[in-house]
Structure 1
Amino acid sequence: MKSSIHEKLSLGEDLMQQLAEIRSYLHQNPELSFQEYQTSSYIVSWLEKWGIPHRRFGETGVVVDLVGNGEEGPHIGVRADIDALPIEEKTELLFASKQPGVMHACGHDGHTTILLGTVYQLYQLKSEWRGRVRCIFQPGEEADGAAQQMIEQGVLENPPVNGMLALHLWPHLPFGSVGVRTGAITASCDDFRIEIEGKGGHSARPHHAVDAIAISSQILQALSLLVTKSTNPVDPVVIHVGKIQGGTANNIVADRVVLEGTTRTVSRETRKRLRSQFITLVEGIAEAYGARAKIMYPDGLPPVINDPLLTDCVKQCAGDLLGDSSVYVLLEPSMGADDFGAFAEQVPSTYFRLGIQQTDRPVYDLHHPQFQFDQEIIPIGVKLFTHTVLTLLDKGEIETC
């Protein structure tokens, strides 16, 4: 069974060389969120070279709709993010970034290359499957709202997508292995800004003032208690304040302090509850000391909640290709975030990890200036995406996978 799958999904030498060229180019020419004009044009150039129909989506997105031998059947979506980060690269790769202060430090160049290879393979095999596949090259994953914007613009419609797949290269799993998890695999990410308005005065007469710094310290302590004493210990919650600004001199009572931070949860219900408690708590403390709190707490990224049946399908397909010993069931979610959660809120979805850790070289985490991966992971990703999509299409209905 495994040998026949490998034979069917084999990538020819020409395609392997093309994918290596694509990854090198993308890594050398990274672009920040919503500025991926050159990146999307490069994606289009390969689709045109291969004769594969496609369409632009928004300013910098690209969508490929593939139709098999008959339209009846599931409609599967596959997503890759295409943007880079504002990080100065320090890898010393031969194809290191040419853009000062911009780097593919999160593996999106690999994700894009893997999806291009998947598009090519599915297009070549289209006479062997029925149904539809929508491949989405998504801009702006590193900026809030990109996936949500595409959804609002109809990327999951006409015809409706029945299920979504995505992967992320992962430096915390052995090279070529796969990590899967049912339920939450990444956390929500909601950024906040609190402005405490007190009353300035002289430090010799604090009773005539309202000290915004002292009130902010009370808020910081109360927020930590909100995590430790108001949340189920087995339901992960993070409240982090990473920036505080306030005060003008050592003998002046500060009239204004600004705190900025982020909250993370893995449950949609906890996310909603936390927001309500957070606002009530902060406003209450400020009011109790005679100050006023202005709070900005917009909805950010939802958690990625994996569908059990789709996740099981990825697990089975990874076992077919790589062997069961290379498939890891992740015991806990990451408190990092990915806007793929917006897709997962709309349709059954699964998001899995593709390991890139190698024992013979240093391991650098995502968003590190020395982050890199071996390009040999790309054909593994292509085969895994392709095999999973074909398996889902062959089932006839996603619900029965």
Structure 2
Amino acid sequence: MAPSSAGRTLTAASAVLVLAAAAGCGGFGGGGSSPGGGGATAWALTGGSEEAFRTSFESWNEANPDREIAVEWFANDAYKEKIRTAVGSGQAPTLVFSWAGGTLADYARSGQVQDLSGQVDGATEDLLPSVAANGEVDGGLYAVPNNQAQPAVLYYNEDVLADAGVEPPETLADMMEAVEALKDEGVVPIALAGQSVWPELMWIQYLTDRIGGPEVFQRILDGEEGAWSDPAVVEAATAIEDLVEAGAFGDGFGSVDADSGADTALLHTGKAGMLLQGSWVYPNMASDAPGFVEDGLGHTAFPVVEGGAGDPSNIVGNPANFWSVSSDAPEEERQTAVDYLNEQVYNEEHVQSLLDLGSVPPVAGLEEEIAAQDDPEHLEFTYGMVRDADHFQLSWDQALPPAQAQELLSNLDLLFLGEVTPEEFTAAMDSTL
């Protein structure tokens, strides 16, 4: 899953647009090149929590003019294409942005990012343990969370559902009934950015977890023979096939792009009833359609599957995004990066910046701060999802090794397009184990 995700506002065609992170940056650091002296470089994503990152880097640069951090900004898909090449060639920025998971494990085991154990207590001491643990590899700490917790949420347009006489679905059967009612109203029942493919992951993940529990995917991670053909995965893939055939995602979902916000636009313009997306899209919706967010946007948990073994509190998505420190950077740059992590990440200003955007930092004990916000409902809902989840499963395209993750995206796309059966999908994925 992308943004796997932070929310995105640029299209892939404009993804290479580079913007200054602060007025005093004096240029941008390419991979591995610092702005001079004891400064450092970072690459980060546009959209979502971008404003909070900008504020954080500006504060650091103003307080440390001799150790500025130069930042380049990328849309999600363009960044993913560039960063692995940069890390592999020793040309990574000092601060490496990631989703942890299989990619971080590769970086750590190949010595491409620094073991931060005992060096970044200032950035990790107040974090929710389940989130902080995602930065660990083989007993070492190789990444520090840097923004909001990002569970996948079922958003809905309250007016569209009301016009169709539909309540937010509590079960998969409810959802199938809602699809028919919304189709009768002439709207797309569920917006889906199929062109981007990664939003489809949220469906296979939630359904598999609701049906079989987190143990099913753990067996896949462990590489057990035939793990992809577990009955829970087959049933989840069959449910997707049923949804597609029922017209749940409309006829044109394969041309809907997530980086441009086309899926969220369908929701807030009343052309779609529901949207399963990461909470990273909320800041963009609040910016693009403030009236809708204030009076018209609803949110709920993913429906349960009757008879399923998964805990209904389980969530999927991204516990957060993460900063690592490149092992290839000069020592002075690495020290600047470590100091930045300790002093800026989840300090009072950073936490408030994220809350102001409608994002929930994975920091313990934020209930009072959230309640004090002007519109706390979405924050309280998202924070409660993360705090109370029995299990928080990382997006599969980040949890798996990169090669297997790419095969998953390719085969999942074929499943949604109706070009393979559920059994063909699982068999193809078994061959990647």
TM-score by length of 2: 0.23
Quick check: which has more Rg, 1 or 2? 1
Please report the TM-score for the alignment, with normalisation by the length of structure 1.
Answer: 0.24
Structure that is richer in strand per residue:
1
Q: Which has the higher helix share?
A: 2
Which structure has more relative contact order (CA 8 Å, sep 6+)? It is: 2
